[in-house]
Each structure stands twice: as C-alpha cells, then as structure tokens.
Structure 1
Amino acid sequence: MARQPQHVPLFHRQIRLVKMLPAHWHDEVRIDLEVVSLDDCPPYQALSYTWGDQTDTQDISLCDEPFGVTRNLFAALRRLRQPDEARTLWVDAICINQKDNAERSDQVFMMKQIYSQATEVLLWLGDRLPGGSPSVPLSEGPIRDQAQSYSLLCAQADELATTTVVNSTEEEALVAFAVFNILSDSQHWPAKRVFSLNEKGGLMVSAACSAAWNLFLRLTRSSWWYRMWVVQEFVLAKTSQLIIGNISAPGTLITRFLDSQDQHVSASGCCHQYSTSWKMDESFRNGTMEFRMLMWGFKVARNIYRAADDRDTLGSLRTTALVMRYRQASVPRDKVYGLLALVPGTSLKPDYDIDETEAFARTTEVIIESDRSLMALVGSRAPSLRSPSWTFQTDVEGVEDWYYENTFRRIRFSELFSASKGLALRYRRNGNALELLGFRFGSVETLLGTFDEADGLREWESRATTEEGSYTRGGTLKDAFWRTTLRDMVISADGPDGAKRAIASDFVSYQVVRRWMVAKDHSERVSLEQGCVDFENLRRSIAVACRYQTFFISDGSLFGLGPNVQTGDEIWILAGGHVPFLLRPHSSGASEAHQNTYTLVGDCYVHGIMDGEAVEKTAILQAVRLI
C-alpha cells in the first residue's frame, strides 16, 4: 500500500482504516492509513475505548509522521499489534480528522454502518484494573488468545473466585473476569460461589471470595462502562470481546449478565426476594447498584435497537436520550449524537458546526415533532445559564444511581395521562424561545417538603389531611392523598408501559408498605412483606412517584407532586401535554415584552386534573413563551 498523507479527503460512504504494522512489545507503534468504501465490505475490527485525558498524549508513527494519541489509546494499540502480521482496525481518534467538523459530522452519521459491519468490536477496558497498587507489575506482551483465556476462566472460575493473592495485572484481570463469568451464568444467585445469605435473608459477598469480589468491583469502575459512545458500539457489534491488558473474555458476558439479572434478580425474577435493597448486605449493595444501573442502560439500548421499527415500543429518540443522559461524553452534544445509530429513521443529523444550545434545541424540536406531543418537556429541569429551560438537558450528575431508573419510569408512566385531552399540539420555535398554547390552571400555594422514605409519608399526610373532609375534585382527602403519592399508578406487568392506574383495592397493599417503611424491627418487616402479594410493586410505585419530588397544595386546594417547586410556580395545561406543567414567571415578566414568558420547572402530578378534567369547552387558550 502506497503511503498517504495522514488525512486525505473522504467521499460518500468512505472511511479510513488503521493498518497496524507488526512489531514487538518495546518497538515503536507504527501505523499506516487506508481509505476504503463501506460498500466494499472491507474486513476490519473496530475499537471501543475511552479517550481519557486529551492533554496527556504519547506519540505514535502515523504514515511516518509523529501523531499524538491519549495514553489509554496508546496502551490499547500496543496490546493489539501482532508480532508477525498487520492488523486492520477502525479507531475514531485516528480514522476521523478531528479538526474537520464537517467530516466529524459525516463520520458520526455513519457510526451504525461502521460498527455493525466490523468483523468484531474490541471493548478495551484498560491496560490494568483501575485503582490498583503500583507495586503489582504490569504484565507485558500482546493479548492472549481469547479461547484459551476463556476456557481457563470457565474451568477454574470457582478456584479463581477464592484467590486471595495476585502477583500481576494479568492475574487481577483473570480473577475479575472469573467473577463476572459466575455472575453471568444461569445459576440461581444465592447458589453462586461468590454469595451467601445474611441474617435478613439477603445476598452478601462470601467471605472466601471477598478479595476476588473487590477485583471485580475494580473492573466495574473502568471508565469504559460510563462512556456514552460505548453503548451503541457494543449493541451494534456482530461479535465482541472485553479486554483488560493482555486478557480477554467474550463480550457475551455482558448480555449473559443482563439475562441473568432479568431472570433472577429483577422485580419479577425468581431470586428477587434475596436482592431487595433493604435485605442486601451493605457491601454488596454499595458495590453493585451503580454497575447494575450502568448495565440497565445496555439493556434498554439493546431493546430500543431491536424494536426500532415498532412505534409502540421503546424505540424513540426521546426514550433513548433520557436513558443515556447520565453517561459521560467529551462534549455534551455527544450525549445525543452518540446514540443516533440506535434510532434509525430520525431526522436529526450530527452537526459539530453549530453551538451546544442550538444542538439541544434542534434535538428537542425533532422529538416534539416525532412524538406529536410535549413528552420532550416531561422531567425535572436543572437551572442552566447555557441553554433555554425547554431544551434537552444532560447535566444531571450528583444524584443516586437509581434516580435515573425512577425518573425513566415516571416519565414513561406520564404517557398514560391525558391532562390536555382534546387540545392538539401547537408549537413554534422563535429563536431561543418555544411558543406554545395553553391555559393557567392555578399556582403552588403550600409546600410540604421533599420525600423521605424513613418518615413513611407521615409528615406529608399529617399536614395535607389535618381534618376529615372532601377533596375539591371529589372523594375524601385521605383517598386523594394516597393516590397522589402513587401518582395514581401502580407498577404492573399487565399494564401498558409496565403500569396500571390505581384502584381502590390497592389501598390495602399501600397501607402495608406504609407500615413497612417506618417499621424498625426486622421480623416485623419480613412479616409485612410476606403477607402482601403486591408488596414490591407498591413499594417501587411509591419510590417512582415520590423520589426527588415535593408535595404541594395548589391555590385551589389540590394535591400535587413536582420537582424543584417554589411557592408561586404556576400550573399550566399546555396543548399536546399528557401532564400539567410547572412554569415559573420570568423575572422581567411584568414588562410588556415578557408577558406570559416563563422558564420550565418540569411536569407535575395534580390529583383530579390528569385526565382532561380541567379542559373545558369555554377554556380560552393563551400563547405562552418558554425561555
């Protein structure tokens, strides 16, 4: 192959491929580039990795010229080259001209083809497990044969899981993968070698496996798991392998782990009684909750991609963006662009020439137009000086991992309401403002605080139902209260989107969960749980409805739940909205230029108006402007 300049121009459906020249461990990393067409189905492997610190680089030879790559990529390239033959790879940092925004946009648009056409995707987790001691020597040399490594893992998994002393980074990786393999098999979880049961009947790490378990936890803390791009890179792969240093394991460990979780420790799993959060040993819970959350993202992405042609499933840009927004990306817009390959047919295209505000505004517009509703505005909004309040937001750090799953469920369940019943969506983009039609229903008058599970909702109830009486919209205050704290929804496998509307008979189970929340005695908790068939569904339903939510009372004495609420926030029914919205008057709203101008606080639940009751034939719609 003739040598070429580092980055010659690319034409339609062309990509560059890295040709790694054969070398030994201490030799210079030397690479050539080749331009090919995806239409010709060239053979290559694609690398999935994290960039790391982009200011900390190391030079390689690219077409006989020095070229800086991050240290993590350098480590991967050194491991991946072979002593006797060249290796062909696709590596984004090298194959895409990162200085050319137009090329970046075009190549990102082709990510689905690039990763799905690769013969294999190499999932590089790092040269060693994170958080290790520098005294453990780095194992040198190329990656060992995967079949050989994996047969060793399977044959000696239980023995490796009881390892107490390791002498190299290679041994650390072997032990960590062995534990991962045990977790991924189809065995019931209490029977797995790495677990035993505590006095509550919950899972805990076996004492004999504690050292190996800690190595597995270090594996789960690799930055690879947190990166936005890796989700689609894994989901799109024909086959894949996980790599740490010179040890590899099949990427099917991830899918098997997901299947094992679903079958055994999900809410409907056969081993769920051993894995409820209050029963689990603290070391097990703290070590796995974050990783299980990250793996949940892989599961949802896999389901989204498989169901991409079914409009009645998760396959929407809105759902995908919501699930993945907690992941990390070098630039914020990649939290959207990094998942477009999972959502075929979207009209949104990557564009690195526009600013971040415009990128997220376009994303929100595309979602609104695709959904023909205002579901894109559902969810709490973090105050931002960078972007309008109505645009898609990615800055959601600083909360517990299960926050994301609860938020995801709460937003999905919102589609079962019809607060603006009969009012067709009408919207217009005007610069950085989104103009809608709707009417002001009321405002927030009293705040009762944010949810505290340990309090068991007693503070809310004591302040909201100080006296016996009727609720403004019908029924009793007590009935309105318990339904509000469920958002009138109960998690159920029989309902659409995994939920059904609450019915009167659910109150019995609700009362059991309330007593369980405040119970101090372990035996009392066990008795309450075992005596209630729907216990777990009701417990999770309260968490989904109330976590990070504030209970409020409106100026019309209606009960409600919403995020980041302040007294004086206005409750609006917006045309095309499944739920009411909390809008905060703009600080300059008194001036004529800013009349009916608001920032979006988020959606809310207001008991008694969720099914169109507030919409009247005589209701006069007003123009409202969100900034």
Structure 2
Amino acid sequence: MHTQKQCISKRKVNDKTEEYFLKDEFEADKPVLNGSLEFLRNFNMSENPLKVQYRTVSLKGQRMKHVLSSIPRITHTHTLHSLRMYSPLNTSRKEIRLLHIHPGNWNDGIECHMETVSLKDYPKFQAISYVWGDTTNKLSITVDGKNLAVTQNVVTGLQRLRATGETLALWLDAVCINQSDIHERSEQVQCMREIYSSADEVFIWLGYGRNLHSPSEQPDIVRWTGEDEDLEIVDSYFKQGTLQNSPNEEGNETEDVVGLFVYMKLRAMNKHVHEIPFFDVKGGKLQAGQSWLAIIQAMHTLSSHPWWTRIWVVQETILARKATVLYGKITVPWTLVGESTRAAARHIHCCGDLHQARGGRELRAIVELRKARYDDLEWLRAARAQKKKLSLYQVMSRTYSRNATDVRDEVFGVLGLVTDWLGQSPLIPDYDLSPCEVFMRVVTKHIQSTLSLHILMGTTRTGIPHVPSWVTQRGRTSQSSSSATGYRINRAVLFSAAGGRPASVRRASNVLITDAFEPSLTVSQVGSTLPGNHNWRELIDCIASWRHMAQLENPTDHTLGLKNPQNEAFWRTIIHDSWQPQRMNSVDILSAQLDFSGEVFTAYRRCGDTDVNRIAEGFWDWAQSQAKGDLKKSEEHTSSMNEIKAFYHSLLGAILDRRFFIASNGCMGMGPPEMQPGDSIVILLGSTVPFCIRAMQDAPNGNYRLVGDAYVHGLMDGEGVPNDCEEKIVQIHIH
C-alpha cells in the first residue's frame, strides 16, 4: 500500500515553450514509477506542446530526482492527446493493438480507429514490413478522431493498402506500439514472433522507387500471383512492343519496373538467359533489346531500397505465413522474388558469363539483387523450413550487416528467429539495459552454452560506449572486408589451436576472465595491410613486401626464393592453409561475398598435401599479368585457371584488411590490422585459433585488451599446447 499526492508546476522557457514538472509524494518502500505516466495520460490540459523534463519523488522524507525514461520530451509532433490514445496492454493475455484503416478514396486523408485484441483469441489481421523513413518529414493521420504524426513513408504505405469498400485491420509497430513507453516496447518485442506468424498476410512496402511521394491518381495495379496466370501479364507486356517506362526523380534515366518483374518471372520459371525475349545471343555474346537498360536501372533502384538493410525485416519476412511485396503499382508474392533469385544462382555458371560480357554495371545490378535476397533471408528461411536448430549466434552471424536505429535491435530484432538456446534461458528484450550490457550478455551466454570462444573472433564493436574489447563484430569498414571477416571466421572450424579443450570463463562486470595457456610468443615484426578497395598492383606490392619481410625475396626480384623451404609456409599462411578447389569464374569472384556470410561449406578444406607451391607460382604469374593488363599472357593459364582462381578467392578471404606478421619464434601469421610489435600471441581454452592480446598499461600482470584473432602457421593444430598443459594454464583478464 502507498499514498500518493500529485501536483504539477510549470516554468516558462520562452514564448513557445513551457517546462512542466511533476511532483509525486509517496509513503512506501519503493516509488511507483508509472504514477506520473498515468497522471499525464489523464491530465486534462490544453493542446499546447509540452516538454517534460523530470519529476521529483519524496521517499520516506528523502527527496530524489528521477528522469522520466518512459516519456520522451513532447515536441510539436506529440501532445497529451496522442499519449492518451494508448491504454495499458495486458501482457498475460498477449494483448496487441490493431489499427483499422477506414475505406476511402485515393486522395482522402487516412482515418483509422484503434482496437486492443488478444493473440490468444486468434484475431484476423494483416501486418506491414517497412522502413520508417525520414523522421523529420511527418504527416498526420487520424486515429480515434485525434491527429497522430507519422512519417511520410507510413502514410504512403497506408494509402497504397487502403481499400475503397472495407476496413483493413493492420498491425504496424510505429502506431500500434506506444513508442514512448520503454516497458511496453520491451514487452511487445517479445511478442513479435507471434505477431508476424499469426498475421494472415505480411505486406512488404517498398515505396515508389526513387519518388518519395505517391502519385496524384490511384495507379492501375499490376497484380502477380506466382502462378501460370502471370503469363498473361508477360504476353501482354511483349505484345505492347513499347517500354512501360517511368522517369526517375532526377529525370535523366528511365526505369521499366514492369519489365523488371517480367524478367524476374521468367527467371523464376528457370529460363536460361538466351531463352528470355529481352536477349539474343550472337557469336557467343549476349545482345540486349532496347528495354534492357531501363530494366537494369529499375533493378538497381529496387535493390538499393533501405528495406533490404533493415534488421527488423528479417524476422518480419521469414515468420510470415504469406508475404506480399508492394512496389509502386506492382503487387507480387515474395515467393516469386525468392524463386527468381534462386534461379539466378542456379544459372550462375551457364548464364553468368553472358551477363559479364554485357558489362560490369549489369552484372553488379544482378549480383545486388541476388545479395538482397541471399545474404541472410533465404538461408534463414530455408533453415527454418527444414526445422534446423538456430542459435542466437547463428542468426546474428547471418544478419550482421543489417542496420538498426537502436543498436540493441541487432539482438532484439532477431530473437524471434532463435529456435535453440543451447540449454540457456532465452534472452529477454529489455530496453532498460544499456547497449553494452545487451551485447555482453549475448557473448557470455554463448560461451557458457557452447564452451567455445568462437564468438570472440572479429573486430571490437564500434559505436557502443564503454564496450569491452571482447564484444566483437564481423566488421563494417567496407563490404568486402566485412565479407572476408565472415569467411575467415567460418573457416576457423577447420583448426584446433587449443587441442579441443573447452572454454572456462566468468564475467566480472565488464571483464571477461578466461583460462589460457601461459603466453610465450610475442609479435616481432608487422607488415602492411591490404585494403578492400585495392587494385592488382597494390595486391602484388603488398604481398611482395611481406615476402621481403620473411626474407623470401627482394623488392626488385619477385621470383627470388620460390624454392626456399619457407616459401610454402608463406603461401599457406596467407591463404590460412585452406581453400575451395572448385570452378571459379569471374561471376563467382564478384559474388563470392555472398558466400562469406555463411557457415563453412563442405567444399572448403585444408590444403593438406596439395602442391601449394605450384599453384602459388601460377597465381603469382597470373596476378602480375593482370596488373600489366597482359590479357593474352593471362590466357596461357587456362588449363589451371580453376585452381588459380580458387587460390585467389581463398587468399582474399584471408588477407583483406589483415596484417602479416612474424612471431618471436619465427612463425609467420596473419592478424588484425591494429596489432603492433610487442603484442602477445595467446591460445585461449575453447578457441580454435590463437588470439593477439595487448597488456594494459598501469595494470597488474594478466590484464589485457583483445586485439583480435590470428592465424599462426605451425600453431593451428594444437602444436602450441604444452606437454604439461594443466600446469601452464593461467587466467587472462580481458577488458
């Protein structure tokens, strides 16, 4: 029991703004933090905007100031009336709010009413997957007779969905969740899996291409079904004989959006490129019709939409019973988009070279469209369909390149896809936790459940205040280096630096305390790094400098030292002694980043008794020919090009944004770009690879920062585990 007195006072800041202060007086053991929120909801004041700053709580005679974390500053876009439209939800009943969109004509304002329903009652509704858009550009919709400001993209999406004769029951997070209530946000995120899997249909709203505004008149919808009747649209398109073009916002290029989906439909039917009427093959070269450039432009615009990069859309799409894409005047099943990109992947060898002959822009657009589907959505969707168990780390490894306004949503936004918590209790979304705390919990939960330190590989997370070095990410310095990081991490399962010994860790605040074999190696020399956007000459010069550092050649004679016994060790080092010996063409090289985000493929293996020197010599000669532009000489390697390009593929995944180094025992290695001479190389129990660590200054022995994972040739298969290993185990404190 408690007694409570409420009062409100104000102070004038300027002619337009007043600050209101809430004062609650309690006689209780703990203050009731939601008291002021309910008071604000029911307090009858004018519609003038408010700026709530803090409230004062009196607890047993002691006065304390509490920031109103559950209510943001109320600006011109929020009034007390907008706060009052949200009544509390019953969590035990799994209650959600539905927005009922009233029927109307195209240019009418959006009018709605809100309804609270329980998921336990199996309500009929649909949901929408979208991006919020520019939060500074807002328009009003009417909800229960009151104006509510939402982004323009929300308004155009509701306008596109609204029917003329019936009400549409819709769930969309921007309106159906009280975004001002952190506690409610946390609870509703827990329901996301059930919300999207319960919806009869999920609409994927991708806007109007480059045009931010909706058309002045209702467009004639081109409705695809994914079935045979779609061929009527295809036949009609080609019979018209004219492009269904629309100029983009700049007006300098034309897009054929209908033609794009005609192309996707034909690809989904498993057609070869030369069987599609847009193309003709003459003399082994692909000739494109007049409309193809407009289709390529439309393809690029579609794949560039920010929806593809948003973290939340992953589970929104994958959990949907039925997903439908709305793009301009196109309505198309998500399954058609998916089958089109799957078919493009199946035809990568037989049709890819034809596309390449058309030029880089076309190939890049096709790869971008593949990537938009394949980098995580398709793999996760297929894994769930096959009833595979998915841990949080596996899901996050697939979605690491996606964006979230709130960095915590990189975790909370994919919880609905996790099917295996590896014996640990599920992670509960809680927006009261700091971003740092959220990610530390992810790391420690994974280590405790797997007894593996695999999750420590990568680079230290950026953009999170006070984050310790052991909270890592796959890296976002560039798309190519991030892809290479994922590729390197996934190949680590091929190694066993700690001899299979399990991890033993505990967390003390922000410090991870882990067992390790006593560090005995240090970094003696470090070389240069190879950036992701390098050219052939930079690649050759970088490798040549590493070889010179290893005393295998001098800067002017690139062939010196090829018969040196250390030569093979060098080449194995810079490809991490593993490769994928299969056919690799130029399309594969360009789209290889699509594979980097996945698990290690069965085709990848250790080099073993492969004649690495022979393949490396061929690669070295070929690379120098590429740098000189001597394509004729490059063709001399045709008989061994599959091996050479497989070697090149493996090399890129091992050295991009990495630093070659030599350890104090003479071993060669590849490590993080931040490593310096004097850093230690350590084998942590539970790790498959060595790590580079740096002693903390002005701290007792045993306190380090994690610099990053490393490959050390000669230490990858347990060679660094001492004979009396139990006596050599020490505790490392990683900050």
After superposing the two structures, state which structure 1 stretch, 382-391 or 607-616, moved more: 382-391
For residues 341 and 520 of structure 2, what CA distance do their matches in structure 1 show? Answer: 44
Task: Determine if contact 2:660/2:670 at 8 Å carries over to the other structure.
Answer: yes
In the alignment, is residue 502 of structure 1 matched against residue 607 of structure 2? yes
Task: Determine if contact 1:228/1:328 at 8 Å carries over to the other structure.
Answer: yes
The equivalent residue for 2:438 is 359
After superposing the two structures, state which structure 1 stretch, 537-546 or 425-434, moved more: 537-546
The equivalent residue for 1:30 is 111
Matched to 1:248, the amino acid is T
The equivalent residue for 1:524 is 633
The equivalent residue for 2:524 is 445
Q: 1:196 to 1:8 in 2, by over 3 A?
A: farther
Matches within 5 A, 1:304-319: 304-306=383-385, 309-310=388-389, 315-319=390-394
The equivalent residue for 1:418 is 496
- Shift of residue 85, structure 1, vs aligned partner: 0.5
- Shift of residue 372, structure 1, vs aligned partner: 1.8
Larger Rg: 2
Q: List per-residue Cα deviations over 1:533-556 (Å, max 9, x = no partner).
A: 434432321121222211111111
After superposing the two structures, state which structure 1 stretch, 491-500 or 436-445, moved more: 491-500
Q: 1:381 to 1:121 in 2, by over 3 A?
A: same
For residues 465 and 202 of structure 1, what CA distance do their matches in structure 2 show? Answer: 47
In the alignment, is residue 623 of structure 1 matched against residue 731 of structure 2? yes
For residues 524 and 282 of structure 2, what CA distance do their matches in structure 1 show? Answer: 47
The equivalent residue for 1:487 is 576
After superposing the two structures, state which structure 1 stretch, 617-626 or 88-97, moved more: 617-626
Q: List per-residue Cα deviations over 1:173-228 (Å, max 9, x = no partner).
A: 424433444554412346545567899x8989766511221122112111111111
Matched to 1:42, the amino acid is P
The equivalent residue for 2:694 is 584
In the alignment, is residue 461 of structure 1 matched against residue 536 of structure 2? no
For residues 282 and 565 of structure 2, what CA distance do their matches in structure 1 show? Answer: 43
| Matched positions, count | 599
For residues 194 and 583 of structure 1, what CA distance do their matches in structure 2 show? Answer: 56
Matches within 5 A, 1:280-319: 281-295=359-373, 296-306=375-385, 309-310=388-389, 315-319=390-394
Q: Which has the higher contact order (CA 8 A, sep 6+)?
A: 1
For residues 398 and 678 of structure 2, what CA distance do their matches in structure 1 show? Answer: 31
For residues 308 and 535 of structure 1, what CA distance do their matches in structure 2 show? Answer: 38
The equivalent residue for 1:605 is 711
The equivalent residue for 2:223 is 146
In the alignment, is residue 11 of structure 1 matched against residue 91 of structure 2? yes
Q: SS of the residue aligned with 1:366? A: helix
For residues 156 and 358 of structure 2, what CA distance do their matches in structure 1 show? Answer: 38
Q: SS of the residue aligned with 1:53? A: coil
For residues 526 and 413 of structure 1, what CA distance do their matches in structure 2 show? Answer: 31
Structure 1: unaligned runs, 5 residues or longer: 469-474
The equivalent residue for 1:320 is 395
Task: Determine if contact 1:47/1:91 at 8 Å carries over to the other structure.
Answer: yes
Task: Determine if contact 2:129/2:202 at 8 Å carries over to the other structure.
Answer: yes
RMSD between aligned residues? 3.3
For residues 159 and 434 of structure 1, what CA distance do their matches in structure 2 show? Answer: 67
Give 2:647's match in structure 1, choosing from 538, 543, 556: 538
Give 1:235's match in structure 2, choosing from 314, 318, 335: 318
Q: 1:389 to 1:591 in 2, by over 3 A?
A: closer
- Shift of residue 527, structure 1, vs aligned partner: 4.1
- Shift of residue 568, structure 1, vs aligned partner: 2.2
For residues 360 and 151 of structure 2, what CA distance do their matches in structure 1 show? Answer: 37
For residues 232 and 332 of structure 1, what CA distance do their matches in structure 2 show? Answer: 16
TM-score by length of 2: 0.75
Matches within 5 A, 1:366-445: 366-381=445-460, 386-393=465-472, 396-399=475-478, 401-438=479-516, 439-445=518-524
Task: Determine if contact 1:317/1:343 at 8 Å carries over to the other structure.
Answer: yes
In the alignment, is residue 96 of structure 1 matched against residue 177 of structure 2? yes
For residues 506 and 395 of structure 1, what CA distance do their matches in structure 2 show? Answer: 32
Matched to 1:236, the amino acid is L
Q: 1:213 to 1:546 in 2, by over 3 A?
A: same
Task: Determine if contact 2:285/2:354 at 8 Å carries over to the other structure.
Answer: yes
For residues 10 and 110 of structure 1, what CA distance do their matches in structure 2 show? Answer: 12
Structure 2: unaligned runs, 5 residues or longer: 1-83, 555-563, 584-599
Task: Determine if contact 1:305/1:343 at 8 Å carries over to the other structure.
Answer: no
Give 1:174's match in structure 2, choosing from 237, 247, 258: 258
Matched to 1:602, the amino acid is G
For residues 105 and 54 of structure 1, what CA distance do their matches in structure 2 show? Answer: 21
Matched to 2:698, the amino acid is A
Q: List per-residue Cα deviations over 1:20-70 (Å, max 9, x = no partner).
A: 111112222111122222233222111000011223221111122211111
- Shift of residue 379, structure 1, vs aligned partner: 1.4
Matched to 2:452, the amino acid is S
- Shift of residue 605, structure 1, vs aligned partner: 0.3
Matches within 5 A, 1:16-165: 16-126=97-207, 128-130=208-210, 138=215, 140-141=217-218, 144=221, 146-147=223-224, 153-156=233-236, 163=243, 165=245
Give 1:476's match in structure 2, choosing from 565, 572, 578: 565
Q: List per-residue Cα deviations over 1:305-343 (Å, max 9, x = no partner).
A: 345544xxxx33223212312211110111111111221
Q: 1:604 to 1:284 in 2, by over 3 A?
A: same
Q: 1:381 to 1:194 in 2, by over 3 A?
A: farther
- Shift of residue 133, structure 1, vs aligned partner: 9.9
Q: SS of the residue aligned with 2:336? A: helix
The equivalent residue for 1:343 is 418
- Shift of residue 238, structure 1, vs aligned partner: 1.8
Task: Determine if contact 1:323/1:408 at 8 Å carries over to the other structure.
Answer: no
The equivalent residue for 1:254 is 337
The equivalent residue for 1:186 is 270
Q: 1:533 to 1:28 in 2, by over 3 A?
A: closer
Identity among equivalent pairs (%): 29
After superposing the two structures, state which structure 1 stretch, 574-583 or 390-399, moved more: 390-399
For residues 403 and 128 of structure 2, what CA distance do their matches in structure 1 show? Answer: 18
After superposing the two structures, state which structure 1 stretch, 41-50 or 341-350, moved more: 341-350
For residues 665 and 606 of structure 2, what CA distance do their matches in structure 1 show? Answer: 24
- Shift of residue 417, structure 1, vs aligned partner: 1.0
Q: SS of the residue aligned with 1:362? A: helix
Q: 1:67 to 1:204 in 2, by over 3 A?
A: farther
- Shift of residue 569, structure 1, vs aligned partner: 2.2
Task: Determine if contact 2:101/2:169 at 8 Å carries over to the other structure.
Answer: yes
The equivalent residue for 1:471 is none
For residues 417 and 656 of structure 2, what CA distance do their matches in structure 1 show? Answer: 29
For residues 485 and 202 of structure 1, what CA distance do their matches in structure 2 show? Answer: 37
Task: Determine if contact 2:460/2:470 at 8 Å carries over to the other structure.
Answer: no
The equivalent residue for 1:224 is 307
Q: List per-residue Cα deviations over 1:82-137 (Å, max 9, x = no partner).
A: 111101111111111212222212221222221122111101001x112x599xx9
Give 1:570's match in structure 2, choosing from 680, 683, 693: 680
For residues 282 and 649 of structure 2, what CA distance do their matches in structure 1 show? Answer: 23
Task: Determine if contact 1:420/1:615 at 8 Å carries over to the other structure.
Answer: yes
Task: Determine if contact 2:460/2:473 at 8 Å carries over to the other structure.
Answer: no
Q: SS of the residue aligned with 1:252? A: helix
Matched to 2:191, the amino acid is M
Q: SS of the residue aligned with 1:571? A: strand
Q: SS of the residue aligned with 2:114? A: strand
For residues 402 and 6 of structure 1, what CA distance do their matches in structure 2 show? Answer: 45
Q: 1:584 to 1:385 in 2, by over 3 A?
A: farther
Task: Determine if contact 1:163/1:209 at 8 Å carries over to the other structure.
Answer: no
